[in-house]
Amino acid sequence: MRTDYRTLFYLKFKKRVSTYELVRKFPDEIGRVSEVALLEIPEEILREVLKEEKLFDRLMRLKRKFLE
């Protein structure tokens, strides 16, 4: 069963669960957990780090959808 982004965002940003704990709790969702963890990085730095514009855009859409 896949864990949705909404659950991961809630645990990470509202309940303040660490990335390490999320990976331990959802080992099959390491990709999604990693993407959610990237959103802790300030947007300006994240843009510099991510070379794929599509990935950056998708992460920003997710961030706006769940965090604001």
Token code pair at residue 44: 């300006």
pLDDT tens profile 1-60: 678 999 999 999 999 999 999 999 999 999 999 999 999 999 999 999 998 999 999 999
CA-nearest of 44, 65, 68, 46 to 55 is 46
Q: Could you give the number of structural domains in the chain?
A: 1
- The radius of gyration computed from the CA coordinates of the chain, to the nearest angstrom, equals 12
CB 30 within 8 A of CB 2: no
pTM of the model: 0.85
CB 6 within 8 A of CB 32: no
Structural domain containing residue 38: 5-67
